[in-house]
Structure 1
Amino acid sequence: MALRRTPSTLPAPARRVDLPSYDRTALTPAVVHFGVGGFHRAHQLSYFDELASLRVNDWGVVGVGISSPRMGQVLSGQDNLFTVVQRGSTASTARVVGVMVEYLLLAEDRDAVLARLIDPRIRLVTLTITGDGYAAGGTSGRPSVFTVIAAALDLRRQRGITPFTVLSCDNLPDNGAAARSAVVAAAEQRSTELAAWIDRSVAFPDSMVDRITPVTSPGDRRWIEQEFQVNDGWPVITEPFSQWVIEDRFGNERPPLDRVGVRYVDDVAPYKLIKTRMLNGAHCALGYLGTLAGHRRTDEAMADPVIGRYVAKLLADEIAPLLPQDVPGMELGEYRRTLIERFGNPAVGDGLARLCRRGSTKMPAYLLPSLHAAQAAGRPRDLLLLAVAAWLRYLHGVGLRNETIEVEDARLAELRALAAQGPAAVLTLTDVFADLAHHDDDVRTIETMISSLDHRGLTPTMRTYL
C-alpha cells in the first residue's frame, strides 16, 4: 500500500490498517498548526482524526512547517496522509490519519500561511515549536511564527473577523502565558494598540499534552512496510497511552474534542505540574544516568536493575510527595505505575539522546523545580541531586567509559566553560539553577557524586543513595 493511493484502491493486506472512514474532501479547515513533527502527528492530529471519524467534518487541520522542507516533500507525495503505529508491549496497531487538509512551509509560503490565518473558518491556532521557540530572540527562524500570527490577528481585527484562539501544546510550565507573551511582543513591533487589543481580546488557554513519540528510524519504516504492507515515507511510532488536558477558555468556537477523550478543565496547572515533574522530570534523570551507563534507549535503561529501582524511588519518594494528591484522573500511585510501564515498553524504545537534548531548557522546567520544592520543605533529595550531578557530568561530552557523547544544547559552550571550573561554578547560573549554589550542603553532595561517578562508576554511586 502506497499512501498516495486512495483508500478505495488499497490492496487487501492493507485492510489490517485502519483507514479514514470519512470523506476527506468534505473536511473544512478550522485549525492551523505550527510545527508538524512526530509528536503533533501522533497526538493532536490523531485526536482530530478521531473527531472526523465521528463525522464532525468542520475541524480539518492545515499543517505549517517552520523551516525544513523535508516533511512537506514527503507528505506532498502522500496526499498529506501518514501512518500512526501504536506499539504496545504485546501488540501493535496502525492507522492512516487523513485530517490534514493542507501542508505549508512558513519559510517559503508565508503569504499562503497568512491567507489561511485570516480565513474566518480558522478558529484555532496550535503550536508545537519546542520550549526554545518561545525564548527571546527565538531559534531557527521561529520568531516568524509569532510575527505571522500577530499580522493575521491584526488583519482579522481590521476586517471585523473574530480572532482565533492560540493554543500552545509545548511542554512549558505555563504555555498559555508563554504564547500570549510571544504574540503580544511580536504585535508590539507593529503597534502598541494591536498588542493591547491582542492581550485583551485573544484567548491563550493553557494545556497539557502527553504521549511518548520517539524519532522514526529507517528500520521502523521497513518494519511497518513489512508488517502492515504500508509504504509510508515518514510514519510515526508511538505508544498506546495518550492524554490531552485543555483549559476551557476559548475566544472562538471550541472544538468538541471532549468527544474523543480530551479533558476540558478550569485549571490545567495541577495536571501539568504532575505530568511535567513526574514524566518529564524522570525523563531527564533517566536520560542522563542511562546515557552515562552506556544505554541508548529508555527500555534498556529501565531494564538495568539499579536504574529501574532509582526511577521508581525517585518518583515515589522525592517527586510525588510534593505534588497535589487529589487531581481528578491523576491518581499519583497509578500514574507512577503507568509511567514505569511506559518507560520500560520495549516496543517503543525511546532514544535517550532525545531525552537529553536541550538540558538547559528542560532541567529548570522539569526536574529542578522538584529539587527546589524539596529544599524548601526540608525533604529528602539525594536522588534529585544525583540527576543534577549526572547532567553536569554528561555535559563533558565523554562517557564514563571514555566514549564520545554528542551533547545538543543551545548553551553548551557556556555550560562547558563553567563546568570546566568545577560543579560549583556552573551552579551559579541562576537562570538555570535558581539559588542552588547557595545551598552549600547540596553543592558538596553534587561534587561528591560527580567525583564518585568518575572514580567508582555509575552503579556503585547509585547504590550509595538507594
Structure 2
Amino acid sequence: MASPERSPAPRALPRPDTPPVALTVPPADRPEIRPLSQETLRSHGARLTVPTYDRAALTPAVVHLSVGGFSRAHQLLYFDEVAERRISDAWGVVGVGLRHRGMQAALAPQDHLYTVVERGPDGERARVVGVMVDYLFAPDAPAAVVDRLADPRTRMVTLTITGAGYRLDPHSGEFDPDDADVLRDLAHPHAPTTVFGYLVEALDRRRRAGLAPFTVVSCDNVHRNGDATRRAVVGLARLRDEVLARWITDRVAFPSSMVDRITPQTSPEERAAVARRYGVDDRWPVITEPFSQWVIEDTFSNGRPPLDEVGVRFVTDVGDHELMKTRLLNASHSALGYLGSLAGYGRMDELMTDPLFVAYVTRLMDDEVTPLLPPPDGVDLAGYKRTLVQRFANPAIADGLPRLCRRGSTKLPHHLLPSLRQALAGGRPRRLLTLAVAGWCRYLRGADPAGRPLPMEDPRAEELQALALAGGSDPRPLLAVRPVFGDLGDLPEFVADLGAALEQLDRDGVHRTIAAALAAGPALPLPLPR
C-alpha cells in the first residue's frame, strides 16, 4: 500500500477555461439542438467544453457502483480532468447501475457521454464528460459486472450506495448476517444481488487467479466509510470462506473519503433549458454548484490515481474532515430541510432569504456543533461555515427541500444525533439541535401546519409516520425506535426537551419557535418572527 504523504490543501475542482455565460440566452442566439454522442461531440464544442482526449485510449481502471447525479458531478469529473489535462489515460471509468434502468437508457444512446452544468451566482459553465467508457445494469448482467470487477485492468472501485446499503447494525456497526439479500448472495455467490456480493465474488476470483486486489473507496456520507465498507466486505466474505476473509483483510485497501458538492435532481425543465442554451440534447444532464471537494485517505492496494493533480487531497486520516462536513453541512441540510418545509418553503435558496433561518443555521453551527469538532488540519472552520451559508443561498442551484428530507432515519443517526448525544454527555448547549430533531418528528406526520402534504421517502416511512401521528407532541413512541434513536429515549431530560419543542411547534408555529430558541441562547440581534 502506498505510504501517506502531504498533499495540497483541498480546493474547488478546476473550472474549464471558458468564461461563464448568462443564465438566459436570447431566442435569436439559441443554437440548433443536436443529440449528444461521440459522432456529434465536435459540433457541440462552440457552446460548451467537450473532451479533447482520445476516449478510445482510456484504460477502464475504475468501476463506480451506483451511478447517479452526484457521482457524475463529482468523482467522474475528477477522473475526466485527469484525462483532459493529459495527466494519464490509465483511469477510465465503467459505471454500474444497481436498481433503476433510467440511467442506462439515458447514457447508452449517448455513448456514455453526459453534460455537467456548473451554476454559480455569476453565471454558469457547461462541459461534456467523456471519461465513462461503459455502463452495465447489474440486474440484467450480474456475470458481466463480476467479470469487469475481476478484470486485471480494474484497480479501483468507488461507491455511492447511500448509508442504508451497507447492511450494518446502526449501533454495533457490525455486518448483519441475517439480511435477506445477504443470505441470497451466500446461496448464489456467482450471481450476486448486493454491492458486497459483487465485491466479494470478484475479490475471490482475483485471489484464486493470483491477481492484485482493487482498492475500494466509499463516497457515501457514512461515518468512517472506509471502515464501514471493510466491515461489510469482510463480514460477507467470512460467511463464505475464512481464508478469503483473511486475504481481504490483509491485502485490500478501504480508504475512507469525504466528498462534498451540492447536486440537486435534474428536472425535465432543466434538461430542456440545457438543450435550448447549449444546443445539446442530453437525456440526463447534471446541474451542480461551483464548489467541489474530495479528501481521501492515502492508502491504496493497486496503484494510486493522480487525483491530487486535479484538486483531490490525500491525507493520513480523513476523520476530522468527515466530521466537519457531516456535522456542519449535512446536519444543517437536515435541520433546514425539515423546519423549512414545515414553514412552507420548497427550495433552499428561498429559505435562505429568511433572516430568521439564516440566524438559526449560523447559531446552530457556531454555538452547538463547532465546539464539539476537532478542527481539521489546514482548514479555516469559520471560513468553511461562511462558505456553507453562501452555498445554501445560491439561487442558481435552487436545491429542493424534499431532496434534503429524504431518508431521515438513515441520515439523522449519522449527521445530527451524534452532536446531540455529545452535547448531552458534556452538558453543552443543545436547544437548536433538539429543535432540529423536533422538526423531523413533526415532519413525519406527513403534512405541514397548513395541511399541505409533505413527501415521505424513507425506508421506515410507514412505521415512523404511524408513530408520529399516534404520539403527536409526545415523542416517546418515536424515541422507542432504537435502530434510529438508540438510548436517547432513556434520557428523561432529553425526552422532556424534545416534547416541549414539539408542543411549541404545534402551538406557536415554526417561526416563533425558532425565534424563541434563538432568544434563549447567546444574546444576538434577532429578526422579528412572522
TM-score tier by shorter-chain length is over 0.9
1:145 and 2:183 aligned = no
Q: 1: distance between equivalents of 2:63 and 2:502? A: 46
Q: What is aligned with 1:403?
A: 452
Higher RCO (C-alpha 8 Å, min separation 6):
2
Distance 1:124 1:5 in 2: 26
- Hey, what does 1:116 align to over in structure 2? 148
**Secondary structure of the corresponding residue to residue 303 of structure 1:** coil
**Runs of 5+ unmatched residues, structure 2:** 1-33, 168-175, 185-191, 519-530
In the alignment, residue 96 of structure 1 is paired with which amino acid? V
- What is the DSSP-based 3-state SS (H/G/I as helix, E as strand, rest coil) of the residue aligned with 1:404? coil
For the pair 1:255 / 2:305, whether they are aligned, the reply is: yes
Equivalent residue for 2:76, pick from 37, 45, 68: 45
Q: Cα distance, 1:440 vs. partner? A: 2.1
Q: C-alpha separation between the residues in 2 aligned to 1:416 and 1:80?
A: 40
Alignment of 1:14-93 (within 5 A): 14-55=45-86, 56-93=88-125
Say if 2:431 is the partner of 1:392: no
Matches within 5 A, 1:303-452: 303-325=353-375, 327-419=376-468, 420-421=470-471, 422-452=474-504
Instruction: Say whether the 8 Å CA contact 1:360–1:411 is kept in structure 2.
Output: yes
1:207 aligns with 2:257: yes
Equivalenced residue count is 463
Which amino acid letter does the alignment assign opposite residue 66 of structure 1?
L
For 2:477 and 2:244, how far apart are their aligned partners in 1?
44
Report deviation, 1:186.
2.6
**Matches for 1:147-296 after TM superposition, within 5 Å:** 147-296=197-346
Secondary structure, aligned partner of 1:385: helix
Distance across 2 between alignment mates of 1:143 and 1:435: 33
Give me the CA root mean square deviation. Answer: 1.7
Secondary structure of the structure 1 residue equivalent to 2:35: coil
The unaligned stretches of length 5 or more in structure 1 are none
| Cα distance between partner residues in 1 of 2:517 and 2:341 | 19
Question: In 1, distance between residues paired with 2:108 and 2:378?
Answer: 39
Corresponding residue for residue 3 of structure 2: none
Q: Quote the Cα distance in structure 2 between the aligned partners of 1:4 and 1:417.
A: 48
Counterpart contact for 2:115–2:129, Cα < 8 Å: yes
* Counterpart contact for 1:132–1:138, Cα < 8 Å: no
SS in 2 for 1:10: helix
CA offset at residue 192 of structure 1?
2.0
Distance (Å, rounded) in 1 between the aligned partners of 2:127 and 2:379? 28
Residue type of the alignment partner of 1:245? V
What is the aligned partner in structure 2 of residue 463 from structure 1?
A: 515
SS of 1:126's equivalent in the other structure is strand
State the one-letter code of the partner of 1:260. V
Conservation of the 8 A alpha-carbon contact between 2:266 and 2:286: yes
For the residue of structure 1 that corresponds to 2:194, the secondary structure is: helix
Contact persistence 1:207–1:268 (CA under 8 A): yes
- How far residue 8 of structure 1 moved from its aligned partner, in angstroms, is 5.8
Q: Which amino acid aligns with 2:43?
A: L
Question: Once the two structures are superposed, what CA deviation does each residue of 1:340-384 show, in whole Å capped at 9, x if it has no partner?
Answer: 000110100111111111111100100111111111221111100
Q: CA deviation at 1:143?
A: 5.1
Native 8 Å contact 1:7 1:19 kept in 2: no
Kindly indicate whether the alpha-carbon contact (under 8 Å) linking 1:133 and 1:143 is maintained by their aligned counterparts in 2: no
Aligned to 2:314, what secondary structure does the other structure show? strand
**How far apart, CA to CA, are the structure 2 residues paired with 1:8 and 1:455?**
58
Matches of 2:242 and 2:478, distance apart in 1: 39
1:342 & 1:271 partners in 2: Cα distance? 18
**Aligned: 1:104 with 2:136:** yes
Give the counterpart letter for 1:10 in structure 2. S
Contact 1:400 1:453 (C-alpha < 8 Å) held by counterparts: no
TM-aligned CA deviation for residue 435 of structure 1: 2.8
State the secondary structure of the residue aligned to 1:457. Answer: helix
User: How does 1:293-304 map onto structure 2 within 5 Å?
Assistant: 293-304=343-354
Q: What are the superposed Cα offsets for residues 60-90 of structure 1, whole Å, 9 maximum, x if unpaired? A: 0000000211101110110100000000012
- Going from structure 1 to structure 2, the CA distance change for 1:340 and 1:130 (only over 3 Å counts) comes to same
CA distance in 2, matches of 1:20, 1:412: 43
Q: Match of 1:365, as an amino acid?
A: H
What letter is aligned with 1:2? Answer: P
1:97 and 1:39 map into 2 onto residues whose CA distance is 13
Instruction: Tell me whether 159-168 or 417-426 shows the greater mean CA deviation.
Output: 417-426
8 Å contact kept, 1:66–1:107: yes
Q: In structure 1, what is the Cα distance between the partners aligned to 2:343 and 2:432?
A: 16
TM-score by length of 1: 0.96
Supply the distance in 2 between the matched residues of 1:248 and 1:192 (Cα, whole angstroms): 27
Query: Cα gap change, 1:9/1:413 in structure 2, threshold over 3 Å: closer, same or farther?
Result: closer
Secondary structure of 1:120's counterpart equals coil
Q: How far apart, CA to CA, are the structure 2 residues paired with 1:231 and 1:403?
A: 36
Partners of 1:431 and 1:246 lie apart in 2 by 29
